[in-house]
Chain A
Amino acid sequence: MEAGQRRRGKAKAAGYEVRQSKIEGTCYEIYGVKDGKTFELFYSPEDLSLKHTKAK
């Protein structure tokens, strides 16, 4: 789960508390909390770049 560790690390570095990390369709998805707000973060499987962030 090296890719999992890396995307968790990316989300943490961006200031998110990571709740869950999984593969959603063709994206890596992180469930994160930042400043008391909930977000879903979507990372590209190729280069782990952040594709988009969805406030929940």
Chain B
Amino acid sequence: MREADPGPRNPLSGRRADHHAKSVLVWDLPLRAWHSSLAGLILIAWVTPNIYDSLPQFAGYAVIALLAFRLVWGFFGTRHSHFDKIGLKLRAAPNYLRNLRRGDTGRYLGLNPAGAALLVAMLVLLAISTATGAMQVTVKFFGVWWVEDSHAYASHAIIVLAGLHVVGTLVMSVLQRENLVRAMVTGWKQVPDAARAASGARSVEADRVPLQPQDGAKEVRPLRSDRQPQGEPSVALGLDSAAAAKPRTDPISIRD
């Protein structure tokens, strides 16, 4: 996909990366379009209620359409849009968050476990908020307290989550020295050195580059570089055989 594209510049060195070796298209175009339209619609629905009744209503219906698209794309989209590893990532999330306090961010091409948890929570809340919002404009559920309250709580929680998402993205960008906001705009992300050296080795150590403030990813040993031919650098999290690489955090196998 889009092989002719020049790789993005390294945000620190300004060097244009050779994307065949160093960066990879992670977020496909439909996913990026979905992400920005959703952000816009949430913003509209957030600031307009009690001023104009029809705008948040329109935004809500549009979000329902976007939710439907996301579910489809979770099965038919490209690799990092897929839902198939979401369950594993969710199980890894508590451990991931614990390690995050030590500054161990891991290094993921797609969503990290915290991001996956946020995605799921966001989708559920959006479903609740839009469903109760649509119910409110029916005669049957108009003014019914639990419909109104669910709508309000879910909608406020969405804003809180969106704020968390923004903060998390910015913090992660600093910790991992990669402009993740830009990655969601262009779709391209840097492949961590270790993972590149390992040519897509599906190992925890290759994926989860422990980023020490001073020496970045240098300390990471490439593992099992014989695993895969050149191709899409598949940065994985989790391990295929427990003996090959002992993960520092999640004891489960996830391939992102």
Contact = CB atoms under 8 A, between A and B. Distances in A.
Interface in A1-35: 19-20, 31-33
Contacts of A31: 142-143
Q: Which of B142, B143, B144 gathers most chain A CB within 10 Å?
A: B143
A56 to B, nearest CB: 7
Contact of A33 (B53, B137, B139, B148): B139
A47 B143 CA distance: 24
Interface size class of B (residues with CB under 8 A): under 10
Nearest to B145: A20
Interface of A: 19-20, 31-33, 36-38, 56
Contacts of B143: 19-20, 31-33, 38
B165 to A, nearest CB: 32
Nearest to A31: B143
B139 A37 contact: yes
Interface string B36-66: 0000000000000000010000000000000
Interface of B: 53, 137, 139, 142-145, 148
Nearest to A56: B142
A1 B86 CA distance: 49
Contacts of A33: 139, 142-143
17 contacts: A19-B142, A19-B143, A19-B144, A19-B145, A20-B143, A20-B144, A20-B145, A20-B148, A31-B143, A33-B139, A36-B139, A37-B139, A38-B139, A38-B142, A38-B143, A56-B53, A56-B142
A36 B144 CA distance: 15
Contacts of A37: 139
A53 B191 CA distance: 61
Nearest to A18: B143
A42 B143 CA distance: 14
Contacts of B53: 56
A9 B142 CA distance: 19
Contacts of A19: 142-145
Contacts of A56: 53, 137, 142
B52 to A, nearest CB: 14
A20 B136 CA distance: 12
Nearest 8 interchain pairs by C-beta: A31-B143, A19-B143, A38-B142, A20-B143, A20-B145, A38-B139, A36-B139, A19-B144
